[in-house]
Structure 1
């Protein structure tokens, strides 16, 4: 997962359809309905969120949140953002991540 790209200072629940952010970090996944790698990414992120206390996984339908997608420069799905406890983007990656990479990226948020 690469370093933060320019974007909003903070992403709060109101910008994610009211989803609750994690107490320590949040894994935000941008998906589309027919994206096959998005399903596997959902499983990996759910597993990591279940393993690490205080981490939440929020999936965002990219087609329903086009304004946010454009603002954040999301150009493919899945795209995963790692937010710290304050909702700041600390890491991002496009494509299906490996569990080890997600855990390593969380280290920058915790």
Structure 2
């Protein structure tokens, strides 16, 4: 199955994420995490709809080094990296609209006003 979400690993995290020329949204995930599985189609949609944002997921069980490096303890944890630095972090599953609103400044957009 082809996906627009990159499977990141400890071995290539620095190259794929920290040195990316685009801001990168990384989901720290695990196979046993139900909410993480629910986020998969949402992340795929974001990856397709936001070409200025790279999207990746990192399995914390297979890649514990990167999770430990950033102090990730809960899944799903989302971190946005820009120019090699984490610039945003949030924990827990959420709808696409909420993620995009939280990333509006990273994406250079004004957040939508919702009532």
**TM-score per shorter chain, which class?**
0.7 to 0.9
- Which of the two has higher C-alpha Rg? 2
* In structure 2, C-alpha distance between the alignment counterparts of 1:35 and 1:51, rounded to whole Å: 25
Aligned to 1:70: 68
With a CA cutoff of 8 Å and minimum separation of 6, indicate the structure with the bigger relative contact order: 1
Q: Could you state the TM-score of these two structures normalised by the residue count of structure 1?
A: 0.73
Count of residue pairs brought into register by the alignment: 97
Does the 8 A contact of 1:24 with 1:55 survive in 2? yes
Aligned to 2:7: none
- The CA RMSD over aligned residues, in Å, is 2.3
Q: Could you state the TM-score of these two structures normalised by the residue count of structure 2?
A: 0.70
In the alignment, structure 2 segments of 5+ residues that lack a partner are 1-9, 108-115
In the alignment, structure 1 segments of 5+ residues that lack a partner are 1-12
How far is 1:24 from its partner?
A: 2.9
Is 1:93 aligned to residue 90 of structure 2?
yes
**Among residues 102, 105, 109, which one is paired with 1:105 in the alignment?**
102
